[in-house]
Amino acid sequence: MKLEGKIALVTGASRGIGRAVAIALAQEGAVVAVNYRSGKAQADEVVQEIESNGGRAVAVEGDVSEFEAAQAIVDQSIEQLGGLHILVNNAGISRDALIFNMEPNDWLDVMRVNFGGVFNCTKAVLQQFMSQREGTIVNVSSMMGLRGWTGESNYAASKGAINAFTRCAAVELARFGIRVNAALPGFAPTDLVQGLLEKDGGKGILKQIPMRSFAAVEEVAGVVTFLAGPDSSYMTGALVEVDGGVGTMLGVGAPL
């Protein structure tokens, strides 16, 4: 197991991609802190699944959009598990709307959680990572941060900010032995993209994906685990697309 002896914190890990990432890291031997904001029962289920497979995990409550809470999440993870080597910034929300109809809080809330959570948790782990001169940060971004899509301006902007932050953090932190990369999923059938699938069950979107399938959360988790592990030891500042080829072609930016 390639992550034996490592301790990881995954934000927003009670469901969706975060849940899959927490389980995948544990399968590679990592001890995992499963962060959640409101889904305690779901987070406990993730912990139980990891433990039932012989791993070790704890659930850690906290809202990553507030820096003090993010620092508490990190501190609690270190206290309960005895250290920290990997941070996966996954927590995110969506407030889809056309720009004309978008309320100020529709973009501000998305930015606070999606990008704010990445900044807050990254800053919160730096003392630990810099002092041990070791640490790996993987940000779960999105192809929306590279392309445009109808009704996604706030979400896409938050992911574009994550992409830029990933590159800058990688440059600043490399001298401390800290790597920072991002995984950019395309369309994965999670709660975040449910609204995009309502029109026709996603058939219009599938027509615009060369591989003609949505990403399984486990496929995204596999890339995140790779970026968190030793096989990517010479990678930092990378934006790795996990999109079935959707970024290679010119789409219409909306379901057909």
Q: What is the pLDDT of residues 204-238, one digit of tens each?
A: 888 889 999 999 999 999 999 999 999 999 999 99
Mean pLDDT of 9-29: 98
For the chain, what is the domain count?
1
Of 129, 155, 214, 226, the active-site residue reads 155
For residue 151, being part of any structural domain is answered with yes
Lowest mean pLDDT among 17-21, 73-77, 90-94, 198-202: 198-202
Sheet of 178-185: strand order equals 57-61, 31-36, 7-10, 86-89, 135-140, 178-185, 239-242
Global pTM?
0.96
For residue 28, the SS3 value is coil
- pLDDT at position 34 is 98
- pLDDT at position 231 is 98
The residue range of the domain holding 164 is 7-188+218-241
Active-site residue, 155 included: yes
- pLDDT at position 205 is 86
Q: Which two tokens stand for residue 202?
A: 């996603």
For residue 166, being part of any structural domain is answered with yes
Q: Contact, 97 vs 106, CB < 8 A?
A: yes
CATH code assigned at 105:
3.40.50.720
For residue 250, being part of any structural domain is answered with no
Q: How far apart are CA 182 and CA 1, in angstroms?
A: 22
For residue 254, being part of any structural domain is answered with no
